[in-house]
A and B are shown apart, each in its own frame.
Chain A
Amino acid sequence: MNAVEIKEFSTWYGKGEILHNIDLSFRNNSITAVIGPSGCGKTTLLRSINRTAELESGFKSQGDIQVFDNSIYQVKDVSAVRRQVGMVYQTPAVLPLSIRENVLFGPRYYGEKGRSRLDSIVEKQLTRVALWEEVKDRLNRPADKLSGGQKQRLAMARVLAIEPQVLLLDEPCSSLDPASTGLIEELLQKLAAELSIIIVTHNLYQARRIAGETVFLLDGSLVEKGLTSEIFSSPADERTRGFVSGLYG
Chain B
Amino acid sequence: MKKRIVSDYILTGFFWASGLFVLLVLAAILMYIIWRGGPSISMEFIFGSPAGYPLGSEGGIWPAIIGTLRLVLLALIFAAIPGLITAIYLSEYGGYSSLARSINLLIQSMMGLPSIVIGLFVYALCVVELRWGISLLAGGVALSIMIFPVIVIFSRDALRAVSNEYRLAGRSMGVADTYTLRRLILPRAAPGILAGILLALGYAAGATAPIMVTAAAIIAGSSGVLLEPVMALPYHLYILFNEHMSLDNAYGTALVLVAMLVFVNALALWLQHIQERTNTR
Contacts and interface: CB of A to CB of B under 8 A. Distances in A.
B278 A96 contact: yes
Nearest to A142: B281
B184 A96 contact: yes
Interface residues of A, number: 26
A159 B170 CA distance: 10
B27 interface: no
B166 A82 contact: no
B251 to A, nearest CB: 47
A96 B176 contact: no
B173 A106 contact: yes
Nearest to B187: A96
A50 B174 CA distance: 9
B47 to A, nearest CB: 44
A131 to B, nearest CB: 17
Interface string B109-124: 0000000000000000
- Which interface class (under 10, 10 to 19, 20 to 34, 35 or more) fits B? 10 to 19
Interface in B214-252: none
Interface in B182-223: 183-184, 187-188
A159 B172 CA distance: 9
B173 A83 contact: yes
A97 B174 contact: no
B176 A93 contact: no
Nearest to B185: A96
Interface stretch (A73-81, A212-220, A221-229): A73-81
Contact of B174 (A83, A89, A95, A144): A83
A102 to B, nearest CB: 10
Given A96-B184, A96-B278, A105-B183, A162 B173 contact: yes
Contacts of A106: 173, 175
Contacts of B175: 79, 105-106, 109
Given A91-B165, A95-B166, A82 B179 contact: no
A82 B173 contact: yes
A79 B188 CA distance: 24
Contacts of A155: 169
Interface string A107-134: 0010000000000000000000000000
30 contacts: A50-B172, A52-B172, A55-B168, A57-B96, A78-B174, A79-B174, A79-B175, A79-B176, A80-B174, A81-B174, A82-B172, A82-B173, A82-B174, A83-B173, A83-B174, A86-B172, A86-B173, A89-B165, A91-B165, A93-B165, A93-B168, A95-B166, A95-B169, A95-B183, A97-B183, A97-B184, A105-B170, A109-B176, A144-B281, A162-B174
Interface of A: 50, 52, 55, 57, 78-83, 86-87, 89, 91, 93, 95-97, 105-106, 109, 144, 155, 158-159, 162
